[in-house]
Amino acid sequence: MSNLTFPDLDTLCEHCGYVLKGLRPEGDCPECGLAIAASSPDLRMGPGGGNQVENDLVRRPGAFFRTMCVGGSNAPARWFMLKTVLLIGLLWLLWDTVGGTWSLEVDLIEAGLVVVSLYLLSYVEALGVVYFARRRGWRVPFRLAERVVCYATVGWVPAAILMGLALDRYVAGDIDRWMSRLLGAWGPLQSIELLVLVGAVAMLWFELLVWIGVRQTKYANSWATGPVEIVDVEKSASSVET
């Protein structure tokens, strides 16, 4: 990595966004006092591979996004999203089939709609992140927003479970029955409103992960030459460890 300079033209202080070009790497950010070395792209070599990705996203999402590489291809992130969303669709289908309320065709269509909806919601979120970041002066282009959102899709798993359970109770008529017993006057439209509310609550973990991800990458740095070789180094390092 001797041919790479740090801080270079594009290096920002990862904490405050100060342009660090021309400063000594041993020094501190003149704006916020963070060590300049703490903004080095060398600290962004993640994620590794395998189940470690899910594990880190669940147990220490801040650290996951703080060490996430922001250069190179989004293909691994997209692959992670595809696996996560398809798994949710498959579980949805299994749950429906076991429940046996409708035919397999209807169950398949429903599971497909779940997959498509999660993709739509996720990409709308990525566009929202770009818009919001631009207004705040954060360096989050669509490519980075997409990467953050792809990994945040792990947050859709509890959302799908919660919505699945709520819809089951709704279809069975339980929500109408419970609420009218509880409150007396309860119309069918109010059950729909309640479902929308449950949906909004269910989205919280996904939203939280996106928020953490953007907070940790809003001034993120990458090596100008591209991180491909860095990612390879990380992979070989982790395979030596295990």
Q: 39 vs 17, 53, 56, 145, 217, CA distance in Å?
A: 10, 22, 21, 19, 11
Minimum Å distance from CB 46 to Zn ion?
Answer: 22
H/E stretch holding 229 = helix 228-241
Residue whose CB is less far from Zn ion, 34 or 162: 34
- The whole-angstrom separation of Cα 31 and Cα 219 is 14
Q: How far is the CB of 18 from Zn ion (least distance, A)?
A: 4
Nearer to Zn ion, 137 or 184 (CB): 137
42 and 65 in contact (C-beta within 8 Å)?
A: no
Contact by Cβ (8 Å): 89, 114: yes
Report the distance separating Cα 203 and Cα 155, nearest Å. 8
DSSP, collapsed to helix, strand or coil, labels residue 28 as strand
Nearest to Zn ion of 33, 188 (CB atom):
33
Query: Is the Cβ of residue 12 or residue 57 nearer to Zn ion in the bound state?
Result: 12
User: What contacts 71, CB < 8 A, 6 or more positions away?
Assistant: 41, 222, 223, 226, 227
Evaluate the CA torsion angle 163, 165, 170, 176 in order and state its sign. negative
32 vs 192, beta carbon nearer Zn ion: 32
Q: How far is the CB of 38 from Zn ion (least distance, A)?
A: 9
Residues that bind Zn ion (CB under 5 A): 13, 15-16, 18, 29, 31-32, 34
Residue pair 8/40 in contact (Cβ under 8 Å)? The answer is no
- Of 35 and 195, CB closest to Zn ion: 35
Minimum gap (Å) between residue 214 Cβ and Zn ion: 18
In whole angstroms, the minimum distance from the beta carbon of 145 to Zn ion comes to 22
Least separation, in Å, of the C-beta of 35 and Zn ion? 10
